[in-house]
Amino acid sequence: MEIENELEKLPDDFLWCRKAKYEVQAERACYELDSSHSLLDGFEEKAFVIDGVEKSFAVKSGFNVLEQNSWTTSPDRPYVLTGTVGERWPVKPSNMTAYDVDPDTIGIEPTTISTKDPSEQEFMVAKLIPVGETFKIIPSWAFSSDGKIDESQAMIANSESSMVSHEEGDYVVAKHIPGLPEYMELPEEVRNTKETAKLYSPRVINGSVMKTTYDCAATKKEIVEKYQSNTTGAK
């Protein structure tokens, strides 16, 4: 299906958006423990099975004040970012492609990095969840190997326990998958599966930071050109 048709059928309460230009703090918060690397202050030891072998890693845990979920770093999500209002969350190396930095240069000490220019960012779809309504997201990392869900890692739009204002409401942001319903339109039993979470990469963006961290003012022409370049493999 052509992207022009996708644009036309997007519901009126959905927005096309992409990351804006802003700065965050980045740090490596997971490393393997061996004879050359001991456990440093602020880290805890945790075992992971890598290629069938159990290995010990130094990891960090924390709580995201915007998404109201707990997190722990892992070999798959070794970096921690600190956002514009002090929120902290772990990310995969692949997530770092949105930032103007080589992930291999990020060390244990926090360093300032910035997002790439919006023209280089992937388009996502966003929907406002008005204050008074809630929407729960189960991210892919909340699923254990046996399929169980760690509810402490769920992301809640407009959580009553949030310490930051939601303004008019939080946003659910997810990938647009051509020919499929938007993530926010899926039944809960379909949304809350690991396969769906990996496919759509959903997230909750607090209403108080949406306008400074996401660009929702792209023209139809920009969206079409970017989408077409992505589908042909252009960078």
153 vs 21, more confident: 21
- Report the mean per-residue pLDDT for the chain: 87
CA 9 to chain centre: 25
Question: How many Cα neighbours within 13 Å face the side chain of 213?
Answer: 21
| Same domain, residue pair 66 and 132 | no
Percent of the chain with pLDDT over 90: 55
| Same domain, residue pair 30 and 17 | no
Predicted confidence (pLDDT) per residue in 95-109, tens digit: 899 999 999 999 999
What's the rounded Cα separation, in Å, for the pair 148 and 63? 20
Rounded to 10 degrees, the C-alpha dihedral 63/164/129/71 comes to -10
- pLDDT confidence tier of residue 90, bands split at 50, 70 and 90: very high
Question: How many Cα neighbours within 13 Å face the side chain of 108?
Answer: 12
| Same domain, residue pair 34 and 58 | yes
User: Does the pLDDT of residue 228 top 80, yes or no?
Assistant: no
| Same domain, residue pair 146 and 76 | no
First to last CA, the chain: 21
Is residue 103 within 8 A of residue 96, CB to CB? The reply is yes
pLDDT attached to residue 227: 64
| Same domain, residue pair 182 and 214 | yes
Domain edge (last residue) among 82, 114, 146:
114
pLDDT attached to residue 2: 58
pLDDT attached to residue 135: 93
Range of the domain at 45: 23-114
pTM of the predicted model as reported, rounded to 2 decimal places:
0.75
> Cα-atom radius of gyration of the chain, to the nearest Å?
18
| Same domain, residue pair 109 and 185 | no
pLDDT attached to residue 174: 95
User: Does the pLDDT of residue 183 top 50, yes or no?
Assistant: yes
| Same domain, residue pair 146 and 109 | no
| Same domain, residue pair 125 and 110 | no
Domain edge (last residue) among 64, 91, 114:
114
| Same domain, residue pair 110 and 35 | yes
- pLDDT confidence tier of residue 159, bands split at 50, 70 and 90: confident
Domain edge (last residue) among 114, 131, 157:
114
- Mean pLDDT value of segment 123-150: 88
Q: Helix (H, G, I), strand (E, B), or coil: what is residue 90?
A: strand
pLDDT attached to residue 234: 36
Work out how many domains the chain is built from and give that number.
2
pLDDT attached to residue 6: 67
pLDDT attached to residue 173: 95
User: Does the pLDDT of residue 144 top 70, yes or no?
Assistant: yes
| Same domain, residue pair 88 and 132 | no
| Same domain, residue pair 227 and 126 | yes
Predicted confidence (pLDDT) per residue in 191-227, tens digit: 999 999 999 999 999 898 898 899 887 776 777 776 6
pLDDT attached to residue 70: 87
| Same domain, residue pair 173 and 202 | yes
Rounded to 10 degrees, the C-alpha dihedral 139/4/217/16 comes to -10
